[in-house]
Structure 1
Amino acid sequence: MRKDMVVFDIKTLGLESNYEEISEFTALRICNGEIKETCRFLMRSEGEIDTMESIINFIDDAILVGYEISLSFLESQVNFRFQQPLWDTLDLVRVFFPTLHHYQLTFLAERLSLPLKNEEIRYPSEEKVWLIWELFKVCWKKGLEFDLSFFDQAKGFLEGWALKSFIEELQKEMVKSFPHRPIRTDLVLMPSGEGLFQRARISSIAIPESIDWVIDNFSPGGNLERNLGSYESRPGQIKMAKLVAEGLSSSHHVVIEAGTGTGKSFAYLIPSLWFAKITSQTVVVATHTIPLQEQLIKNDIPILQSVLPFSFRASVLKGRNNYCCLKKWQSCLVNREISHGEQLAVLGILVWLRETLTGDIQELSKFPGLTEVWSRICADNDTCIPGKCSKAGVCFLLRARKRAEESDVLIVNHSLLFSDLKTDYNVLPEHHQLVIDEAHQIYQTALQHLGSELSAENVTRIVETIYRPSGVNFYSTIKHQIGSLAHRVPSVSWELVGERLELLPEICRSILIQTRELFELLSRIIGSGRTFRFIIHHKESPWWNGLYVQIENLVGRIDLLIKSFENLNSSFNGEDAEEIEELRYIINGHQKELQTFIDTLIQAVNIENPKQVTWLEQAARLYIKTSPIEVSDVLKAKIFSRLDSVILTSATLSISNSFAYFLKDIGLANETMTAQVDSPFDYEQQMHFIVAKKGINSLGSDEEKSLELSEFIAEVAERMNGRTLVLFTAHNLLRQTYAALHPLLARIGMDTLAQGIQGDRSRLIEAFRRNPRSVLLGANSFWEGIDIPGDALLCVIMVKLPFWPPTLPLIEARSDYLKSQGRDPFHELLLPEAVIRFKQGFGRLIRSKVDRGVVILLDNRVIDKYYGRYFLNSLPIKTHIRGEKSLVFRKIEEYTRELELELL
């Protein structure tokens, strides 16, 4: 590029953005791609006019390049308005590398192998500017590799965006440097390769039908030990593999609690692959979390493909809304109805579709605007007919289903498993064997997927896709196309279609009005609370009749819209032209969405059913939710009675060595085969478990608790040099503790990372791994699924025993149901759930044989209350230390000294 550029960074003083001032300005001036000049200014006093003028003169008329810097902030500091654009390399790298997931500059330098100019760099600020320049060059270079159609497609989404001039300059360079590069007019996608599967290896041996072959793989000197340098034979893994193989081959269900480090994924994958190959049947493996799903398909399966003596096929299938619909995407490229905040997402997807083989959203980083754009381009229409779609040949969903049908082992998540149940087994390929990993979550997942929810925003979004006064919608699109459709399909009475189409706007307007009125009433009912459960006594309340009438009216208006679509569909009777099939497909999709609204609303006022609960929930928006309160009968009928063999496994299924609660909860007989496989880790040697005698329960308000807690965490963190994870049971206490803790840790040079404040879970965990001198605060989702092995994590603090609040609508309803049967909800619901979550939280510390550290519990109920033994007896460690905080600190100091001696 011929234009001069100034790559710069500014260091600021001040904690609040409104009061920040530049303390250091560092920049490079680039001419013809080479560094022409450098500058670095330190601001030592307010209003240094000479320095400000020097900065302005250095920048002059060059294009500005920075990393996550506001141009308006720079202008306010130097009191000058720049006319040239600012190209933010954070936005550039998100567009050109949309699958990196983390965009901290140091991470990008490592991941993209940015060269360091160590010999000339004297200050950290100079190194940062150098990295920004190298990052810019990487993005520029990648942009030059694209076909010219990329620029034509991107142009429609650049208006009003700072990077518009960058894309224009890049296109000029492309045309100049590569004048003969062809222009593609259709979708530009990554070639799918040789086929759906890699070329199969030829099996070196016939597959033995004896279970002994499965066990021999894991034995000392066996296949795994011979071919994997780091593998060690483990008795627990051998035991589990044998149980899985016997369950599959003998057609019975097995429940296995496998402690951390057992190697349970290999222990069920190898028997599953063996069984699939000798029977030619697909074995489905269901996980709860995406990280485990990714681990299986990206790590474990490739290893097994390299060491097992036979070839096999394994794939992942996800829910429809995980895949990009290319037909919808093409419509998005044509219509270009996006907001300013969605431009980044559209350009990132434009790049990603040139590189992806799966079309799976999980590959994409969670950049701004993605959620909104994805809702319009995902393949979430259940009435889609891929065989009649013009994009069937390249459809990502169709590819994934094809791979699934031809797989020996198919990996799905719990959600898709229940989607299969809800659609009468129309989602997954036929199978008779199922492995459920992370099985402690199966009950909660069943509750979620067998229930429903509705918000005003959801109704509005769907109705406005049918009709809205401006923008692209079903009504305007069909009305616009009637002339051309009449020419192509003259056998249809398009005049009648037009008449029926004109009924839609008024019905849609009436639905939106009625929806607004209903949710205004619901808002008054819930008031300032977070939740409100509907119970049978509410039928006597003065607002109930009004609610019933509002719901009845809304159901009637939605039903009228469904009938209008039925009439539209009847206009096409006997016609099978491609254009008509596409219209039917769209209409059927809208009808199905509208019917789910009706089903939820009818269920909401049916509060006589003791096995059903309805409640209001208020967070960013207000929802009306329904759920069954018991799913054991459903699980028994639709999974355990239907399938030949189900293997359920997790690290946390038993309570005080008993599986009775878990079996009863999910509808399995007490006679079901169960087993505990102990962890190979030496917990007594690798860790200390400390219970603080005087926790925070004795304190009154959350404010008092947060102050006390923040001081305690700071004391622990200083002794542990950070490396501490704190698990909360309430977000409010977490936020208040963060506010008090952050300044305490800042004084000793430590970072405080908090869920809901700095970002999502994956981003926080990555930041914690990259800077262990920090403290990470997390609530519910942090109690499980977090894997931070090594010295990055040395201490886990559990603030309270993780009992669910008894006032949560679903918990309250389940408790009432148990009481109505003469049963004890504390012992049959609250306590077992808390013990399972407690075991999960405890398990965050020790993830490998070399891990070590301390787990601290600040809830003395575990030693003061009779039920404390259930928690303690469920842990893999048999000894613990109990004492007041002074003892806790002393034990930590002793432990850290032991660690230091080990390292000498």
Structure 2
Amino acid sequence: MPSLVAIDIETTGLDPNNDAIIEIGAVRFNGPRIEDEWSTLIHPGRPIPSFISQLTGITNDMVRHAPSIREVIADLAQFVGDAPVLGHNVSFDLAFLNRQNLLRFNQVVDTYELASVLMPNASRYNLGALGQTLGILLPATHRALDDARVTHAVYLRLLDLAHQLPIELIAEFVRQSEPFDWGAAYTFREVLRSLARKPIPARKAQDQGLFLFRPEPPLPPVESVETPIPLDVDEVAALLEYGGPFSRYFSGYEYRQQQVEMLRAVAQALSKGQHLMVEAGTGTGKSFAYLVPAALFALQNNTRVVISTNTINLQDQLIKKDIPDLREALGIDLRAAVLKGRNNYLCPRRLENLRQRGPTSVDEMRVLAKVLTWLQFSDSGDRNEINLNGPIERDVWSRISAEDEGCKAEVCMERTGGACPFYRARQAAQSAHLLVVNHALLLSDVATGSRVLPDYDYLIVDEAHHLEAATTSALSFRVTQADLARLLRELGGTNTGILGRLLLLLNQLLRPSDFAAMQQAFERATDLIFRLEHAYSAFFRAMEEFLAEIREGRPVGAYGQQERILESSRTLPPWTNIEITWDAAHEVTGLLSNLLAELYKTCGELRDTASDEFEDTLESLANVYRRLMEADANLHAFVAQPQQSSIYWAEISPNSNQLSLQIAPLHIGPLMEEYIWHEKTSVILTSATLTTHEGFDYLRSRLAADEAEELQLGSPFDYESAALLYLVNDIPEPGDTNGHQRAIEQALVRLARATGGRMLALFTSYTQLRRTSQNISAPLIESGIIVYEQGEGASPNTLLENFREADKAVLLGTRSFWEGVDIPGEALSVLVIVKLPFDVPSDPIIAARSETFDDPFNEYQLPEAILRFRQGFGRLIRTQSDRGIVAILDRRILTKRYGRAFLESLPPCTRKIGSVNDLPAIAARWLNL
């Protein structure tokens, strides 16, 4: 293999047009042998931002006497020569270097592209994470030469992985990628040459097309029961006693009275067909408290219990750990399955179609190669096993997923013999005693008249405080002009998209005279699609003009623009143009839909003589037709036929300036009442936070849970010894914008220094978070404390991993960090709540729902804030041995009448009221620092 040059640069920012290079590092190598290294600092001709210095360690002083980029161009060009250039996300580096007329004609190798394919289930693809995963001892430091060395080492490991793939697969990657300039193509060509010199092993049957997926024998189904056999509650509770199967199975087993109380209540609710709401504090062990009775009840009656969660993490914990442990501990033959939405499963037929047709872009190429590599060691077809990085890859996945609603079980059985991952998941769900789903799927089942899940009478909802938000999300509609344009592009025309493929296939099936008639119909459809795209454009332009009129021509602000569409909105003069442009779009949609339905019917008559590809293309047409009709119906309601039970608004996002039109249900209680409480024999809702200062009343009213019994269980943790709640009494209130912000920044810096970081600060506004991060990063980095900020590109999981691993760190988070963060031990010892977490009153859903209350603040906004506040507080103490401090930097908790409601919602802990200046010393003493 020829020599390559690994290259890395550090810059003042991300924009090659406005930012500059501050360091370059390069390593020339041939296999593991390093031939030479080259590096230099660069004077950027501008100040280096503090966050870049924090990230890289490169300061303005360090580059003060460094050469300019022009002074080093010739040396770097000579060092690289015509060797292929290797980099991680190398297009970023080349965007800067190409501006200096460097490396324009060298072949390019991207370790990001290679890792995406060869490590399809890696959690992260940044250079440091790959280095750790691959066992590379060199650190990725955000210094150019160090990172170039790590890139070289990562490349060698990836090369080893590539050589382990079947030669046929490598050959397919090379063949399929020929039309593209793909950063992995060079390496796969080299690997193919290397493998071609070795003897080729016999190819296994399952390596061929659809046979990658194995059908599984059907299991006996479970049934609904008229008169179930009740559980012996005492007998079930005895399983958790010391000396019982659980204490024998789990080392270090702890008997928890709260867990047994919950188990008894759940067993009774299932046995007697009752509804129940259970709040179980952190550390109760609520998963086993409902899993044990649910499993035994389902087994005893050969029936099904559905368990719904809000997060994938809990879903995975139940199906991969808790239920297998339960099965082993009790020695029972319990069948459990997880069922996800259709989009989560790979469709073998659609994958095979993509392989036959060939990818049309680098993104399709990458996802195809990633999926085919993944299928070498897994046949689950579950997308959660692989890392689909970003919306583009997820969009490609949707085109090979099983989301095609037109695909029926009998068709799937006929085509794949029951090997389709979604079909197998449905079969497993039919025979499962415990079926684990998420809230979105649960509510999709409700919305579609129970067409998603198998029949069930018993339901347990964990993380139930999310049920209203999850239902709202599942039943909401959002569309942009780009979404509609993408839908029409998918439909295509006589030469492109679904219609183009269908016409090509018809040419092979029909006599010339019949084909000519069909071609005319396809040309009419193409013309209507063109007209509809222009009609949509005019409609969205009218909507933009309407929003501009409302903001009186001022530019869209930093927070974007949200406007509820009310009856009064529809009387404003600019609304007339919206109605006119929509009527035109709606009329063209009607003409197009009639023609597409006619084409589908005519083509459907040819099914018996046509190929599988023809059938699949026809079903793709039906799928796009359905989505087009759904968009048309929702937009027609938005403009012309609004319903009182829905909320309508237009929104311009602050970042992309993109206009979206949105619809959400006003209340979900009636839906819950009709399809959940009245339909199901027993429904059990549980969470660590179901109550506010008024007990269960708030959630009971939101979820129409009038008939549910209630049980509130405290935590087994000793909060008085474990948690200090510090209430600052002298900080400016949030209304004093500048004074409050300055005080927050000073408090965080001093507190972090006193405690050595180990701090999570929770914000309610990303704008405030970002401003705080900018102002505290420099002083904290001087003290050796890293600041991690939500929203800087890294996923929440990545931020949490980095925070856990850092010796001294502060993590700043907004909405998603108020719950689900689980960092036991000393890594998280300080929790700061910057502001009480009230929703923004102007948010369209909050505003619309507020209008339905007599006292919206006390009846709606305050209970919602208390639930979130309790979730935030719960991030600190995660185990019996945890110890920490919660600091509330919002003085309103002491000065406002409603503050008492927040405090009374917390478990009894050591409480102290004091000055913001005293906080650092008190925190250090509490933590014994």
Once residues 50 and 178 of structure 1 are traced to their aligned partners in structure 2, the CA distance between those partners, rounded to angstroms, is 51
Pairing partner for 1:35 from 22, 33, 43? 33
Pairing partner for 1:856 from 887, 891, 906? 887
Pairing partner for 2:235 from 213, 218, 229? 213
Q: Equivalent residue of 1:103, what SS?
A: coil
Quick one: percent identity of the two aligned structures? 28
Residues 502, 618 of structure 2: 8 Å contact kept: no
Partner residue in 2 for 1:870: 901
Partner residue in 2 for 1:557: 588
Pairing partner for 1:301 from 299, 312, 323? 323
Partner residue in 2 for 1:202: none
Deviations 1:781-828 (A, max 9, x none): 21111212222211121111111111111111112222xxxx211121
How far residue 273 of structure 1 moved from its aligned partner, in angstroms, is: 1.0
Q: Equivalent residue of 1:218, what SS?
A: coil
Pairing partner for 1:351 from 363, 370, 373? 373
Q: How many residues align?
A: 874
Deviations 1:654-675 (A, max 9, x none): 1126111111111111x52111
Residues 148, 181 of structure 1: 8 Å contact kept: no
Partner residue in 1 for 2:420: 395
Deviations 1:450-499 (A, max 9, x none): 332222122222222222476x4122112211122227xx9x96555444
Q: Structure 1 753/274 Cα, relative in aligned 2: closer, same or farther at 3 Å?
A: same
How far residue 41 of structure 1 moved from its aligned partner, in angstroms, is: 5.5
Q: Equivalent residue of 2:810, what SS?
A: strand
Moved more, 446-455 or 313-322: 446-455
How far residue 706 of structure 1 moved from its aligned partner, in angstroms, is: 4.0
Q: How does 1:352-501 map to 2 (within 5 A)?
A: 352-367=374-389, 369-389=392-412, 390-391=415-416, 393-468=418-493, 472-486=496-510, 494=515, 496-501=517-522
How far residue 776 of structure 1 moved from its aligned partner, in angstroms, is: 1.6
Once residues 212 and 763 of structure 1 are traced to their aligned partners in structure 2, the CA distance between those partners, rounded to angstroms, is 45
Residues 8, 65 of structure 1: 8 Å contact kept: yes
Moved more, 258-267 or 519-528: 519-528
Partner residue in 1 for 2:648: 614
Once residues 893 and 433 of structure 1 are traced to their aligned partners in structure 2, the CA distance between those partners, rounded to angstroms, is 50
Q: Equivalent residue of 1:412, what SS?
A: strand
Once residues 109 and 380 of structure 2 are traced to their aligned partners in structure 1, the CA distance between those partners, rounded to angstroms, is 31
Partner residue in 1 for 2:158: 139
How far residue 157 of structure 1 moved from its aligned partner, in angstroms, is: 2.7
Unpaired runs of 5+ residues, structure 1, are 199-206
Once residues 768 and 71 of structure 2 are traced to their aligned partners in structure 1, the CA distance between those partners, rounded to angstroms, is 49
| 2:531 paired with 1:506 | no
How far residue 113 of structure 1 moved from its aligned partner, in angstroms, is: 3.5
Pairing partner for 1:605 from 634, 639, 653? 639
Pairing partner for 2:916 from 882, 885, 888? 885
Q: Equivalent residue of 1:245, what SS?
A: helix
Residues 542, 578 of structure 2: 8 Å contact kept: yes
Q: Structure 1 190/679 Cα, relative in aligned 2: closer, same or farther at 3 Å?
A: farther
Residues 56, 78 of structure 1: 8 Å contact kept: no
How far residue 189 of structure 1 moved from its aligned partner, in angstroms, is: 6.6
Q: How does 1:24-423 map to 2 (within 5 A)?
A: 25=25, 27=27, 29-30=29-30, 33-35=31-33, 37=35, 39=37, 46-47=66-67, 62-69=83-90, 72=94, 81=103, 84-114=106-136, 116=137, 131-155=150-174, 156-157=176-177, 159-180=180-201, 182=203, 186-187=208-209, 190=212, 192=214, 209-341=231-363, 343-367=365-389, 369-389=392-412, 390-391=415-416, 393-423=418-448
Please provide the CA RMSD for this pair. 3.3
Residues 657, 874 of structure 1: 8 Å contact kept: no
Unpaired runs of 5+ residues, structure 2, are 42-61, 221-228, 549-555
Partner residue in 2 for 1:203: none
Once residues 679 and 93 of structure 1 are traced to their aligned partners in structure 2, the CA distance between those partners, rounded to angstroms, is 44
Residues 20, 96 of structure 2: 8 Å contact kept: no
| 2:715 paired with 1:694 | no
Once residues 139 and 195 of structure 1 are traced to their aligned partners in structure 2, the CA distance between those partners, rounded to angstroms, is 37
AA in 2 matched with 1:512: E
Q: Equivalent residue of 1:102, what SS?
A: coil
Partner residue in 1 for 2:48: none
Once residues 911 and 258 of structure 2 are traced to their aligned partners in structure 1, the CA distance between those partners, rounded to angstroms, is 25
Q: Equivalent residue of 1:886, what SS?
A: coil
Once residues 811 and 9 of structure 1 are traced to their aligned partners in structure 2, the CA distance between those partners, rounded to angstroms, is 47
AA in 1 matched with 2:877: I
Once residues 850 and 683 of structure 2 are traced to their aligned partners in structure 1, the CA distance between those partners, rounded to angstroms, is 29
Moved more, 351-360 or 47-56: 47-56
| 2:880 paired with 1:839 | no
Once residues 647 and 680 of structure 1 are traced to their aligned partners in structure 2, the CA distance between those partners, rounded to angstroms, is 22
Deviations 1:367-410 (A, max 9, x none): 25312312322222212224324345431211111111111111
Once residues 688 and 663 of structure 1 are traced to their aligned partners in structure 2, the CA distance between those partners, rounded to angstroms, is 31
Q: Equivalent residue of 2:455, what SS?
A: coil
| 2:660 paired with 1:623 | yes
How far residue 609 of structure 1 moved from its aligned partner, in angstroms, is: 4.5
AA in 2 matched with 1:769: R
Deviations 1:185-242 (A, max 9, x none): 84277554976899xxxxxxxx995233321222222211111113211111111111
Q: Structure 1 71/629 Cα, relative in aligned 2: closer, same or farther at 3 Å?
A: closer
Once residues 531 and 604 of structure 1 are traced to their aligned partners in structure 2, the CA distance between those partners, rounded to angstroms, is 15
| 2:682 paired with 1:682 | no
AA in 1 matched with 2:569: H
TM-score, structure 2 normalization: 0.87
AA in 1 matched with 2:796: R
Residues 684, 879 of structure 1: 8 Å contact kept: yes
Q: Equivalent residue of 2:165, what SS?
A: coil
Q: Structure 1 570/97 Cα, relative in aligned 2: closer, same or farther at 3 Å?
A: closer
Once residues 101 and 592 of structure 2 are traced to their aligned partners in structure 1, the CA distance between those partners, rounded to angstroms, is 58
| 2:556 paired with 1:520 | no
Q: How does 1:709-748 map to 2 (within 5 A)?
A: 709-748=744-783
How far residue 8 of structure 1 moved from its aligned partner, in angstroms, is: 6.0
Partner residue in 1 for 2:819: 784
Q: Structure 1 103/792 Cα, relative in aligned 2: closer, same or farther at 3 Å?
A: farther
Deviations 1:346-374 (A, max 9, x none): 43223223333322222222425312312
AA in 1 matched with 2:451: N
Residues 111, 154 of structure 2: 8 Å contact kept: yes
Q: Equivalent residue of 2:399, what SS?
A: helix
Partner residue in 2 for 1:767: 802
Q: Structure 1 597/81 Cα, relative in aligned 2: closer, same or farther at 3 Å?
A: closer
Moved more, 866-875 or 846-855: 846-855
Moved more, 68-77 or 671-680: 68-77
| 2:711 paired with 1:658 | no
Once residues 9 and 210 of structure 2 are traced to their aligned partners in structure 1, the CA distance between those partners, rounded to angstroms, is 39
Once residues 193 and 592 of structure 1 are traced to their aligned partners in structure 2, the CA distance between those partners, rounded to angstroms, is 30
Deviations 1:264-290 (A, max 9, x none): 111111211111110111111100111
Once residues 806 and 80 of structure 1 are traced to their aligned partners in structure 2, the CA distance between those partners, rounded to angstroms, is 53
Once residues 180 and 827 of structure 1 are traced to their aligned partners in structure 2, the CA distance between those partners, rounded to angstroms, is 72
Once residues 566 and 189 of structure 2 are traced to their aligned partners in structure 1, the CA distance between those partners, rounded to angstroms, is 61
Q: How does 1:558-577 map to 2 (within 5 A)?
A: 558-571=589-602, 577=608
Residues 240, 264 of structure 1: 8 Å contact kept: yes
Residues 752, 776 of structure 1: 8 Å contact kept: yes
Once residues 93 and 465 of structure 2 are traced to their aligned partners in structure 1, the CA distance between those partners, rounded to angstroms, is 50
Residues 9, 21 of structure 2: 8 Å contact kept: no
Deviations 1:545-597 (A, max 9, x none): 33233333322222222211222244357665163755653343233212211
AA in 2 matched with 1:225: S
Residues 530, 618 of structure 1: 8 Å contact kept: yes
Deviations 1:493-527 (A, max 9, x none): 65554443332112111211111111111112223
